Amino acid sequence: MPQIFPKRANVLPTVSLFGLVGGGIVSVLLVWYYFSPEYTDVGYAPEQPVPYSHAFHVGELGLQCQYCHSNVEVSAHANIPPTQTCMNCHGQIKTDSQKLLPVRESWSTDEPIEWINVHMLPDYARFSHAVHVNNGVACETCHGRVDQMEVVSQVEPLSMGWCLECHRQPELYIRPNEEVTTMGYTQPADFVERNLERIADDNIQPPTNCSACHY
């Protein structure tokens, strides 16, 4: 018996979210799915396998973001540091702490610590840390006062509308590149004027077309 549908028909639903008859239904389902608190809720702050505190390590010890999130300026994803980074200090400091037991176990077994994702965009949205950080968009603008967080929580909605607010008026948000990891930044009086100048000089144009952010 000849095949009624060509084999290729099987891949249709995954080809593209947009421009297909089923697109509308798929997005409704996605919205439903991703509106579960794990994905979009401001305030999401899962308990981590180790009670690592940014408030202490950043706010008090003064460690730089890139000491641990070393890829943030060069890749789409900001990496979570490997156990080695913790052991740089905790090989000597607090070596008998119960709280650090999972770190020592990870070190001796070579199994990574299973940190839980706090911020997560749906798969159909495209995002790059490097592009933002290198164009003056600060960690603080998207993640808030991480230096004061005992437990990291999501402070911005990361919704499409939120992304677009800045993409339409970046002059209200961007900073000089050397300030992107600063926490508690105070804007100079001529903040917007300076930004407008930079936007013109560097030709900064955040995209607002669908295909820039969606596959």
Interaction with ligand HEC in 107-166: which residues (CB under 6 A)?
115, 117-122, 125-129, 131-133, 135, 137-139, 141-143, 146-147, 152, 158-160, 163-164, 166
Q: Is 207 in the site for ligand HEC (CB under 6 A)?
A: yes
Query: Do 102 and 138 touch, CB atoms closer than 8 A?
Result: no
Q: How many other CB atoms are there within 10 angstroms of residue 39's CB atom?
A: 16
Alpha-carbon distance 99 to 90, whole Å?
Answer: 11
CB under 8 Å to 120, separation ≥6 — which residues? 38, 39
To 5 degrees, how large is the angle CA 52–CA 54–CA 55?
Answer: 115
Per-residue contact string for residues 81-110; x = within reach of ligand HEC by CB under 6 A: x---xx-xxx--xx--x-xx--x-------
Residues near ligand HEC (CB under 6 A), total:
82
Q: Is 55 in the site for ligand HEC (CB under 6 A)?
A: no
Query: Do 50 and 80 touch, CB atoms closer than 8 A?
Result: no
Q: Is 195 in the site for ligand HEC (CB under 6 A)?
A: no
- Using the minimum distance from each CB to ligand HEC, give the nearer residue, 1 or 21: 21
Q: State which amino acid sits at residue 129.
A: H
- List the interface residues with ligand HEC, window 13-32 (CB under 6 A): 27, 30-31
Q: Is 169 in the site for ligand HEC (CB under 6 A)?
A: no
Structure tokens at 6: 């060509």
Q: Is 51 in the site for ligand HEC (CB under 6 A)?
A: yes
